[in-house]
Amino acid sequence: MEEAKISIATHAFNYGTGCFEGIRGYWNAEREQVYLVKLQHHFRRLLNSVRLLRIDIGLDAQQLCDIAVEIVRRSEYHEDVYVRPIAYKASPVIKVGLLHLQDAFCCFSAPMGDYFDINKGLSVTVSGWRRNDDNAIPARAKATGGYLNAALAIADAQDAGFDEAILLTHDGHVSEGSAANLFLVMNGKLITPPVADDILVGITRGAIMELAEKLGIPVAERRVDRTELYVADEIFLCGTGVQVASVTKVDGRKIGDGKMGEITRSIQDLYLSAVHGEVEEYMDWLTPVYGGRTG
């Protein structure tokens, strides 16, 4: 970390012209293994993000997976880890734009436990900040500059005593959390905002849909009104950092009985078992770091 230096004139530092990923690795003590979760999915999403930002990494998804595995392996982690690849506009120039600039790629890893206490229900608020629109700063590109939107929303929410913010689209529909997708449970069904409502197309969101199918829980991707949040039976957030976290209060209104709901708990349990390598059926989500295959 100390040796990896970039210029203060770097384009991405000045203008937010980078794309990144956040990938988790879970330590399985019994097998003395770190499992990276949905590695290929993350790098395929990064390759989509860089297409939008006209960054050429010059590496394919498999080569990127191999780099992530090597970084964790060489760091010799024996605990939960987080991997952060960033592709960015590297030229030291004062000029807005995306063309005729040098592109660069870096990747680092760090130990990481729970982002929120996932056993405690979260108290959230609907933010006054709107989610950045696809025609302004597309959420589909996981761009560094786009996270100013999330930073404003969560900072104000936490300043007002909430754990997290829920952002609405410009036309007032529920989009997502500051760094997490959102599911509602209503009448035994899961409901989540569609990809066209300015969400980051979350990899955990996709994983939850797979798990819901296995648990026999129907899932609908559809527009969600703000007030549906207040009357939902259960709500949870999901994401690489957040994992699966129950929301038990929205704008001071109790959700269900104010405790983590049954469906949320069953999804959280199955998700955590799957990512730790404890469910045979989902071993193909995982890339072991020490020995074995990659990808």
Is the Cβ–Cβ distance between 168 and 127 less than 8 Å? Answer: yes
- Say whether residue 19 binds ligand PMP (CB under 6 A): no
- Say whether residue 204 binds ligand PMP (CB under 6 A): yes
Give the CB-side neighbour count of residue 280, counting CA atoms within 13 A. Answer: 0
Of the ranges 122-130, 153-161, 175-183, 243-251, which one interacts with ligand PMP (CB under 6 A)? Answer: 175-183
- Say whether residue 49 binds ligand PMP (CB under 6 A): no
| Close Cβ partners of 70 (under 8 Å, ≥ 6 residues apart) | none
Q: Give me the 129-158 binding string for ligand PMP, x by CB under 6 A, dash otherwise.
A: ---------------------x--------
- Say whether residue 169 binds ligand PMP (CB under 6 A): no
Q: How many residues lie near ligand PMP (CB under 6 A)?
A: 13
Give CA–CA dist 196/190, Å, rounded.
18
Of residues 109, 127, 240, 243, which one binds ligand PMP by CB under 6 A? 240
101 or 178: CB nearest ligand PMP: 178
Minimum separation from the CB atom of position 202 to ligand PMP (A): 3
Give CA–CA dist 286/6, Å, rounded.
32
- Say whether residue 167 binds ligand PMP (CB under 6 A): no
Q: Give me the 273-292 binding string for ligand PMP, x by CB under 6 A, dash otherwise.
A: --------------------
CA 148 to chain centre: 15
Minimum separation from the CB atom of position 31 to ligand PMP (A): 24
Of residues 176, 197, 198, 234, which one binds ligand PMP by CB under 6 A? 176
Give the CB-side neighbour count of residue 6, counting CA atoms within 13 A. Answer: 16
> For 34-55, b where at least 16 C-beta lie within 10 A, e where not — what string?
bbbbbbbbbbbbbbebbeebeb
Of residues 57, 191, 203, 289, which one binds ligand PMP by CB under 6 A? 203
11 or 205: CB nearest ligand PMP: 205
Of residues 13, 14, 16, 22, which one binds ligand PMP by CB under 6 A? 22
- Scanning the structure block, which residue is given the tokens 């991405």? 12
Of residues 85, 121, 239, 277, which one binds ligand PMP by CB under 6 A? 239
- Say whether residue 264 binds ligand PMP (CB under 6 A): no
Token duo for residue 292: 């074995």
**CA torsion, ordered 285, 291, 293, 295, to nearest 10 deg:** 50
- Say whether residue 256 binds ligand PMP (CB under 6 A): no
Token duo for residue 269: 């349990």
The radius of gyration computed from the CA coordinates of the chain, to the nearest angstrom, equals 19
**Could you write out the DSSP letters of every residue in 110-162?**
EE---SS-TTSPEEEEEEEEEPPPTTTS-TTS-BGGGHHHHHHHHHHHHHTT-
Of residues 18, 25, 85, 202, which one binds ligand PMP by CB under 6 A? 202
- Say whether residue 37 binds ligand PMP (CB under 6 A): no
Residue ranges binding ligand PMP (CB under 6 A): 22, 150, 176, 179-181, 200, 202-205, 239-240
